[in-house]
């Protein structure tokens, strides 16, 4: 109806992705689980019993400017390439101080100070990503980022994550969990 795609990340005892690691980065972790299923759209039946379920929506861009959109579109790849047998789900919550900042100040921290978009661009097209927004839904995490990549991109992925966590922007992160996965079969 509104061009927004709801996505549920459901951890249970079965699913197309095997969870290899759940690591707390900042704050409380998530319960252990063996498998994950992505459920896209409304009205689908969720795997039962679920150990946990995180929800978000794929929605419009919040900070990316026109020139950056062009650069991203020229390089980015879709999720689900056959070679992308590794994935990561990184749920993040930012603190109240972040959300109280005006739009221009948040944008300046994201890009002019932290180079978030430019850093991600450096790892395209090898690492594909999709951002899901959970804040307006009252979810425990503001953002769920899903990445997929081929096994030979694993060290590049570690470098990407390490660079982002070292930024000014990450000083506003008050909960972060790092979930790694491998495709089943």
Helix (H) or strand (E) holding 124: none
Q: Are 58 and 145 in contact (CB under 8 A)?
A: no
Q: To the nearest whole angstrom, how small is the minimum distance from the Cβ of residue 176 to a copy of itself?
A: 15
Q: Quick one: which of 7, 57, 88, 127 contacts a copy of itself (CB under 8 A)?
A: 57
Determine, following the binding rule CB under 8 A, whether residue 43 of this chain makes contact with a copy of itself.
no
Q: Supply 161's token pair.
A: 């994550």
- DSSP assignment, residue 25? E
Q: To the nearest whole angstrom, how small is the minimum distance from the Cβ of residue 170 to a copy of itself?
A: 18
**Distance in angstroms (rounded) separating the CA atoms of residues 138 and 102:** 21
Q: Quick one: which of 31, 49, 82, 102 contacts a copy of itself (CB under 8 A)?
A: 102
* Nearest by Cα to 54 from 130, 142, 161: 142
φ/ψ region of 76 (left if φ > 0, alpha if ψ in -120 to 50, else beta) reads beta
Piece of 19-27, 77-85, 104-112, 120-128 that binds a copy of itself (CB under 8 A): 104-112
Determine, following the binding rule CB under 8 A, whether residue 144 of this chain makes contact with a copy of itself.
no
- Interface ranges with a copy of itself (CB under 8 A): 1-4, 6, 42, 57, 59-66, 68-69, 93, 96, 99-100, 102-105, 107, 133-140, 142
């Amino acid at each position: 109806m509104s061009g927004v795609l709801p996505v549920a990340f459901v951890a249970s005892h079965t699913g197309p992705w095997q969870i290899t690691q759940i690591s707390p980065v900042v704050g409380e972790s998530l319960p252990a689980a063996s498998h994950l299923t992505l459920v896209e759209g409304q009205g689908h039946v969720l795997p039962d019993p679920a150990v946990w379920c995180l929800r978000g929506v794929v929605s419009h861009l919040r900070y990316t400017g026109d020139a950056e959109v062009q650069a991203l579109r020229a390089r980015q790849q879709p999720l689900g390439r056959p070679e992308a047998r590794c994935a990561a789900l990184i749920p993040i919550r930012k603190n109240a101080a972040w959300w109280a900042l005006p739009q221009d100040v948040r944008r300046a921290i994201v890009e002019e100070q932290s180079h978030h978009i430019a850093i991600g661009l450096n790892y395209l097209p090898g690492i594909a990503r999709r951002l899901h927004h959970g804040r307006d839904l009252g979810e425990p995490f503001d953002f769920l980022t899903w990445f997929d990549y081929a096994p030979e991109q694993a060290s590049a992925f570690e470098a990407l994550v390490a660079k982002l966590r070292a930024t000014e922007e990450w000083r506003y992160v008050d909960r972060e969990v790092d979930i790694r996965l491998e495709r089943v079969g």
